[in-house]
């Protein structure tokens, strides 16, 4: 257990950040799932910019790796163009 006040505060901060990161990552995964389940090209085309923005923000905050974000964006654009 923590021996200093600053270490206790650091643990509290880490817990809060972990919960926030988990929420944003899960929200993005759900958005990916809905986009991949969509068979309507117009509807999917409206979802792509929102999802791209979400992935860029996660990569910027180091929640996911920037190359993973690039790979996901590439795969969703490929999916939408094949509809």
Per-residue pLDDT tens over the stretch 47-78: 999 999 999 999 999 999 999 999 999 999 99
For residue range 11-45, list pLDDT tens digits in order.
Answer: 999 999 999 999 999 999 999 999 999 988 989 99
| Residue 3 CB neighbours (<10 A) | 7
Show me where the domains of the chain are located: 43-83
């Amino acid at each position: 257990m923590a021996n200093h006040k600053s270490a206790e505060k650091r643990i509290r901060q880490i817990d809060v950040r972990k919960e926030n990161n988990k929420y944003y990552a899960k929200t993005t995964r759900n958005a990916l799932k809905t986009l991949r389940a969509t068979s309507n090209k117009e509807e999917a085309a409206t979802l792509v910019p929102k999802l791209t923005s979400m992935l860029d923000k996660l990569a910027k905050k180091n929640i996911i790796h920037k190359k993973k974000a690039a790979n996901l964006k590439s795969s969703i654009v490929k999916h939408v163009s094949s509809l």
